[in-house]
Amino acid sequence: MDARLLALAEYAAGALLSVIVAAVVHAVVDPTWDMVLAMLVGSVLGMVLDVLVGVLGPLISTFQVLIIGSLIGMYGGMLFAMRDTMQAASWERVVAVAISFGVAVVATVRLYDRALRGPAPAVGPGA
């Protein structure tokens, strides 16, 4: 698979998982919940959804799906739940913030991976 296509698939999968986690958490948590309880529930929901979405692993890469997915599931679930206890948010705002969060997590993990490994070697004709 072409590296650019793989990168695009990683960003799309991260954004999709983030939207799924945010939507489920937003549907469950409301401003009447205690924030600590909501953050725990959000984290558990996010991790369960990450495991369920783990079936995408063979399509993209198990590392990308599970590492990035666990960060989005656990931290995204907590952050989305915390936001939902502090303020009412529209579905449009939930989706927009979730997409931004998913893309930011993927970008952060890719940059960290590049810092650890260095740039990928050139492959193909003319390399």
Q: 92-122, pLDDT tens digit by residue?
A: 999 999 999 999 999 999 899 888 887 767 6
Q: Which residue has the tokens 């927009």?
A: 96
Instruction: Give the single-character DSSP code of 56.
Output: G
Structural domain contains residue 72: yes
Q: What is the pLDDT of residues 1-54, one digit of tens each?
A: 577 888 888 898 889 999 999 999 999 998 999 999 999 999 999 999 888 877
Domain count across the chain: 1
- Domain encompassing residue 107: 3-116
- Residue at 124 is within a domain: no
How far, in Å, are 12, 34, 48, 85, 92 from residue 29 at the CA level?
25, 10, 16, 7, 16
